[in-house]
Structure 1
């Protein structure tokens, strides 16, 4: 049976996403990734050259997919904030990978700068706010990510923080906050 290198690489990246999102770079284990990818450690090293480059590739893929799934909408930044919020609810591992990278491998965060540069240019050309385009993006992302980044004890004070009604209310608050921010 012939090997499908692309399929193997994709399985490795999927397993690495789960592993690194749960355990970070330092706690992530290449052996567990290989097992979950139905591959072996030797193939991981052959394709990615080691744990560092695998983490970097995993992070870059997750951020690029997010950029593709949630493209900027300069004409409707509040709606875009809602979409970013929805993306983080569906794919919390992307945010977790980003947080681990900031803590353990900040140099890995440099890879997808072109993605953010494109978004910033789109916002700048729309003239959507008196704030700088970078400020706008930072605020939109911060507001959209806040629910996932808040302590579970705080978000759970009134019950299940992931109950549908709570998420709908929070999504509405995200959109309202961005609308108000843009009126500054």
Structure 2
């Protein structure tokens, strides 16, 4: 029998937890399913992560820090960054789903690490966004970039169009970029 590789097992558990918690949330997520998906046992989850609460927080932190690394703020092009965030959520819905579950079930766990917030606000504060604060700009960009994915499907279909149509998605992405551009530079057409 080959020796156990602790880091590989921990990584498999974390990946399985990302999938489980994104689909079922903290309350509905089951450590037994996570263990099975990770090819390990529940005892290893507790040994490596301390328990379900800590595993949920580790999964949330992993998802958010992965997004932050994949789509870092671009102070010189905040509107383009908003479009990139929109694209990221389309490609990687796990992060947004986990964040929403955390807001609903575990708001104390729903915060990015403070260092991540500080890095983003510092980066954005160098952008020309007066009279808005860096926090205002970040909140607006995140809200606009995520809105399409948080809107009820019934509302998205209310005009008779398919919200998954690539042309429709592209038009919404463009609306995200335009909204951020107009916020930062009022009077821009």
Give the TM-score of the pair, scaled to structure 1.
0.96
> Paired residues, what number?
184
1:86-133 CA deviation, whole Å, 9 max, x = no partner? 000011110010011111111112352221211111111223332010
Distance 1:159 1:2, change over 3 A: farther
Q: Please, which runs of 5 or more residues in structure 1 have no aligned partner?
A: none
Using the alignment, how far apart are the partners of 1:168 and 1:143 within structure 2? Answer: 14
Counterpart of 2:115 in structure 1 is 114
Contact residue 12 and residue 34 of structure 1 kept, 8 A = yes
Q: Please, which runs of 5 or more residues in structure 2 have no aligned partner?
A: none
1:160-179 CA deviation, whole Å, 9 max, x = no partner? 31221111111001000100
CA RMSD in angstroms, aligned pairs only = 1.2
Using the alignment, how far apart are the partners of 1:13 and 1:96 within structure 2? Answer: 16
Q: How does 1:56-75 map to 2 (within 5 A)?
A: 56-75=57-76
Secondary structure of residue in 2 paired with 1:130: coil
Counterpart of 1:166 in structure 2 is 168
Q: How does 1:79-158 map to 2 (within 5 A)?
A: 79-157=80-158, 158=160
Distance 1:111 1:124, change over 3 A: closer
Using the alignment, how far apart are the partners of 2:128 and 2:6 within structure 1? Answer: 45
Secondary structure of residue in 1 paired with 2:117: helix
Counterpart of 1:6 in structure 2 is 7
Contact residue 129 and residue 136 of structure 1 kept, 8 A = no
Using the alignment, how far apart are the partners of 1:183 and 1:34 within structure 2? Answer: 50
Give the TM-score of the pair, scaled to structure 2.
0.93
Counterpart of 2:181 in structure 1 is 179
Dislocated runs of 4+, deviation >6 Å: none
